[in-house]
Amino acid sequence: MGVLDGKVAIVTGSARGIGRATAELLSEQGAKVLINDLDGDVAQQTASEIAGETTVFAGDLTKGDAPDRLVQAAIDAWGRIDIIVNNAGYTLDAPAHKLSDDWWQRMIDIHVTVPFRVVRAAAPHLREPAKKEREEGVEVFRKIVNVSSTSGTFGNAGQANYAAAKSGVVGLTKTLAKEWGQFKINCNAVAFGFIDTRLTQSKDDANKMTIDGEEVQLGIPDQLRGMSQMLIPLGRPAKVEEAAGGIFFLCSPWSNYVHGQTLHVTGGLFGGMTG
């Protein structure tokens, strides 16, 4: 028996990395999970390898009405939505003076516009049941977790586009929390530091992904990877399962009174320019 028995969760970008680890953990705790990824084959494989009940929506969420169709896929499969984890994303790094309009806009699109459009599409399926429950004097909590980053809360050289987008995620989250708290929809963000994923592995020819037919280089320089022991008091990057644990907490009943917050999962990462 899991703490999420009977719940339905959408996890974007969930065929690999943090998203997959999150989908696995939510499923282990009883949730039915929609798996989403750009790569339909990988998404189907992930869904088949997760023991619990799953469905798949493959596609680029920045395109057309994809966010609406994503939400509808969950409704078609299970008739309800209880949890949304907006995790999909990637990085396009360059110093600000060399950053193109295209690279700026692509980070805003995937990290801010997509989460906004997903939660907007899901709004009737979150708010309308809550209105009925409120009339009946019943509290049922639903969850929105938006994935941010320490780049968005501290800033990060070479990531003006990504940092601005991830900061925007925090603003979106706090606004939703103010608007939707009355419906018992917990809206929180999780800001990750150095998590061991494709985005933080070595920047080499093997670490690339294809978006719109264009190869996108992922990863960070090995010099930065080597500095992790000095920058992180716990002495190492997080495993994806540890990152998923932070998301799971914000999806669980134990976070019912946690609202409008940004949970930093960083191992105590140094270097933040914040008060």
> How far apart are the C-alpha atoms of 184 and 129, rounded to whole Å?
11
pLDDT digits (tens, 9 = 90+) for 63-103: 999 999 999 999 999 999 999 999 999 999 999 999 999 99
Give the pLDDT score at 185: 98
Q: Per-residue pLDDT averaged across 132-147, rounded?
A: 97
The predicted model gives 147-176 an average pLDDT of 95
Report the pLDDT value the prediction gives residue 168, as an integer from 0 to 100.
Answer: 98
Higher pLDDT, 166 or 205: 166
Residue 160 host element (H or E): helix 160-180
Q: Which of 185-189, 197-201, 227-231 has the lowest mean pLDDT?
A: 197-201
What is the structure's pLDDT at 201? 54
- Please check whether residue 170 is in contact with residue 148, taking contact to mean a CB–CB distance below 8 angstroms: yes
What does pLDDT average to over the chain? Answer: 90
Q: What are the angstrom distances between the C-alpha of 210 and each of 81, 98, 203, 236?
A: 30, 22, 15, 29
pLDDT value of residue 269 = 82
Q: What percent of the chain has pLDDT over 70?
A: 86
Please give the residue that has the higher pLDDT: either 270 or 108. 108
90 among known catalytic residues? no
**Domains, the chain, ordered by start:** 8-265 (3.40.50.720)
Nearest by Cα to 81 from 68, 94, 93, 91: 68
| Residue 196: per-residue pLDDT | 81
Q: If you average pLDDT over residues 217-235, what whole number do you get?
A: 64
pLDDT in tens, 243-255: 999 999 999 999 9
Higher pLDDT: 162 or 274? It is 162
Nearest Cα to Cα of residue 15 among 145, 26, 38: 38
Which member of 57, 104, 162, 192 is catalytic? Answer: 162
Q: Tell me what pLDDT residue 275 has.
A: 43
